[in-house]
Structure 1
């Protein structure tokens, strides 16, 4: 008697095994098992979360869940961060075989008083950087030219006994030098700040401006270098966030752009590696102090 729900049974049918596999029931997933697949369960013969395979942890916040590495479930029902291999740490620290140079900028220990006032207690400081000196190159060149030109002019006028014009030339020189000093002071207080949660730019002396963007909202990040930037090692960073205009979008004249780019991207996508490296460096510092 034929099978009423399908074709007759044929032991030589090449598609029989595939059809039988397709009709197997799909294993149920317990929602209490956390953000990954259920422990001990997988599709077909695939691995499970308990075996430590990274299926991705989705978007996260507060420095977690952006790395694409799955957290490992422990026997007590919680989750442990994914392990970071010693080879990965060696590559980040720059102490791999062959003496390869450091690929990311070193982490700073403490923020300056200027940066510390804008950090909240649960935020972890990663570093701050002033703009490249080329940012103030134009004011410095103007100050130098003004010194030579107005100095020669005042000496020439003084020899012709034109006291009023000499005084004007000297006052004009003081105004130019004062403007140059103001530009240098603004450059000194202009900082690019990185934490485990956001990037910030702080500038201004009398009127202080603080612009920031959370790392979880950065959808695209790039840096650009002109020929002069490549020669002098500076660049312009461009941050995009969901295609919207942001207060913090273009940051000009940042030093060491390639290393700084890797530093920010590592914080965005591999925060666990940063924490592991920090712990390793802290242990090494304690060992050196003990020795």
Structure 2
């Protein structure tokens, strides 16, 4: 039997990293409509709930490598200039351009990497040239949790771990997702209280139309 969560129980989970209560939780999708990147992977009868890029911490390694390569090139260029070895300077610049090209590729890959939630499934879409699309039906999820390191609690990101019986674990671990508590509650509500989600979203849409009319 699947557990049921009341609104009061869910509100008790709305705390920040220090355990302090948060204000009203945003429950509408981050965007009213899916981006063009995501829309092509949704079928007409499923309802879009939101999409998230990974936290900027995901880019730490390539940015550090790019910065270190730039400083190294500056030092090496000055040293080689004093030695009057122009050929090696050209080689150093070519290597630096290769490193910066790799950094740009990593940034582009981060931009096109999305975690997607609908009323039917969770998905991960990534890849610039070779596109990869992984999905897990919400009905197949047997266990879900998120983990936050001390740095993750400070910067508000975490790793989602999803378990599914009889399912290839392509989405078992999704790292560096932003606002993990908010996202966790969204997925839990969609799994256990889908009717309540539909009712609330419908009410919010009606309130928005009333405000526009006013």
Instruction: Give the TM bin, normalised by the shorter chain.
Output: 0.7 to 0.9
Write out per-residue CA displacement over residues 118-170 of structure 1, whole angstroms, 9 at most, x where no aligned residue. Answer: 00000100000001111111100110111011122112212322110110111
CA 1:225–1:255 in 2, change beyond 3 Å: closer, same or farther?
A: same
- What is the TM-score when the length of structure 2 is the normalising length? 0.88
Residues in 2 aligned to 1:68 and 1:261: alpha-carbon distance in whole angstroms: 15
Which runs of 5 or more structure 2 residues have no equivalent in the other structure? 15-20
Pair 1:219 & 2:142 matched:
yes
Return 269-278 or 152-161, whichever deviates more: 152-161
Structure with the higher strand share, 1 or 2: 2
Instruction: Report the CA distance shift for 1:130/1:105 in structure 2 as closer, same or farther (over 3 A).
Output: farther
Higher helix content, 1 or 2: 2
Secondary structure of residue in 1 paired with 2:182: helix
Deviating runs (4+, > 3 A) in structure 1? 66-69, 103-106
Structure 1 residue runs without a partner (length 5+): 1-57, 59-65, 70-83
Equivalent residue number for residue 33 of structure 1 = none
User: Which one scores higher on RCO, CA 8 angstroms, separation ≥ 6?
Assistant: 2
Q: In the alignment, what sits opposite 1:75?
A: none
Task: State the TM-score, normalized to the length of structure 1.
Answer: 0.65
Between the aligned partners of 1:215 and 1:114, the Cα distance in structure 2 is 22
- The answer to whether residue 176 in structure 2 is matched with residue 246 in structure 1 is no
CA-based RMSD of the aligned residues comes to: 2.4
Q: CA deviation at 1:273?
A: 1.5
The aligned residue for residue 133 of structure 1 is: 56
Distance 1:283 1:67, change over 3 A: farther
Question: Is 1:102 matched with 2:49?
Answer: no
The Cα shift of 1:252 comes to: 0.6
Report the number of matched residues: 204
Structure with larger Rg: 1
SS in 2 for 1:219: strand
Counterpart of 1:162 (choices 85, 88, 91) is 85
